[in-house]
């Protein structure tokens, strides 16, 4: 099931070239909120409850052509965005250019198997997460901007020291 967030924070399911609006079913399945709000995305935290509600709503859900909606980030309130540096070979090669690294960031792995082994992970601002229907806004267009497409995974269930075999069960 391809769940999406679209237009004015509607929730839908992408079905080929249409979006089925299941917003009301999701709202009914989520727990009532009060301050202080929980950290993170309530939708993702309650996915086990929300998915059956979505399934039940699909047969009667209003359909809209996919081309007529503006897709937003699938997670409305990500608590963290954790990124991996130099996560593909072309970027490693590109980062070797002194015009880019200014002698500060040297991409050589120096005996490490991967850049993550050497540099670890880093946090990015959650405000930079956007959907395919949203525009990237450059606040300082006169400064150097790196243009990259990032692949994201939404973690649906927390954990620590998760085995490789169990890793996919934590992805929403």
pLDDT in 10s for each residue of the chain, 172 residues: 999 999 999 999 999 999 999 999 999 999 998 899 888 888 988 999 999 999 999 999 999 999 999 999 888 888 888 888 776 777 777 777 777 766 665 555 565 566 677 777 888 888 888 888 788 888 888 887 777 767 788 888 888 999 999 999 998 8
pLDDT score at 17: 96
Q: What angle do CA 147, 103, 95 make, to 5 degrees?
A: 30
pLDDT of residue 127: 80
φ, ψ of residue 117 in degrees (nearest 5):
-60, -35
Residue 3's beta-bridge partner residues? 13
Instruction: Note the pLDDT of residue 37.
Output: 85
């Amino acid at each position: 099931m391809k769940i999406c967030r679209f237009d004015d924070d509607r929730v839908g399911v992408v079905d080929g070239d249409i979006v089925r609006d299941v917003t009301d079913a999701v709202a009914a399945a989520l727990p009532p909120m009060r301050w202080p709000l929980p950290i993170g995305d309530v939708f993702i935290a309650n996915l086990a409850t929300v998915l059956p509600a979505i399934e039940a709503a699909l047969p009667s859900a209003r359909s809209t052509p996919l081309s007529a909606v503006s897709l937003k980030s699938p997670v409305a309130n990500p608590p963290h965005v954790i990124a991996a540096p130099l996560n593909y070979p072309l970027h490693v090669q590109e980062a070797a250019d002194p015009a880019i690294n200014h002698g500060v960031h040297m991409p050589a792995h120096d005996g490490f198997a991967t850049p993550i082994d050497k540099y670890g992970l880093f946090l990015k601002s959650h405000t930079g997460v956007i959907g395919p229907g949203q525009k990237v806004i450059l606040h300082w267009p006169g400064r150097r901007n790196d243009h990259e497409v990032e692949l994201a995974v939404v973690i649906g269930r927390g954990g620590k020291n998760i085995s490789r075999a169990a890793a996919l069960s934590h992805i929403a």
